[in-house]
Amino acid sequence: MRSRRHPLHLNTACALAILVGVAAVAHAEGYESDASVIQVVSTKIGEKNVFIPATIVVVGGREHTLSLFNTTDTPHGFAIDGLGIEEVLPVGIEHPVKIPAVEGGKIFGIRCHLHPPHRTATLVVVPASDAASPGSGGLVD
């Protein structure tokens, strides 16, 4: 019997290849941003609980704020193990979460620590351009 790979494995491999490629290009050129707060929603689509967006991209080198909003009827978790973040998202309340300054070129997994079977998300930290360094006058988020 011939074994078939689950399409999710292929999708995950493709997404990682794209993210690694973005990080490689970003490292050479750097990025700037004028976003001050990034909106993230915890919601249910069909029978799956998901984070939207599933990939959050921030510029490295400074703190960021995520504005998390849980649209479901039960509290959900938001954990980034690599950054020591573990929050419970109450139902229907905007919940700010600070992301500490992280060097660019990093990728972190995001999960619901209250319900492990839920869909995960990814935090991608791209390198900042020299112009976006604090005190340089460039755009920063």
Tokens for 139, please give them.
């755009």
Is 42 or 11 the better-scoring residue by pLDDT? Answer: 42
CA–CA separation, 69 vs 61, rounded Å?
25
Question: What would the pLDDT profile of 30-72 be if each residue is shown by its tens digit?
Answer: 888 888 899 999 999 998 999 999 999 999 999 999 999 999 9
- Mean of the per-residue pLDDT values of the chain: 81
Does some domain include residue 2? no
| Residue 15: predicted pLDDT | 47
**Does residue 26 register a pLDDT over 50?**
no
CATH number, domain of 101, equals: 2.60.40.420
Does some domain include residue 111? yes
What is each CA distance from 107 to 23, 55, 56, 90, 91, in whole angstroms?
Answer: 9, 10, 10, 26, 28
- The number of distinct structural domains making up the chain is 1
| Residue 28: predicted pLDDT | 52
Question: What would the pLDDT profile of 88-132 be if each residue is shown by its tens digit?
Answer: 999 999 999 999 999 999 999 999 999 988 899 999 999 998 754
Buried/exposed 105-127: b ≥16 CB within 10 Å, e otherwise: ebbbebbbbeeeebeebbbbbbb
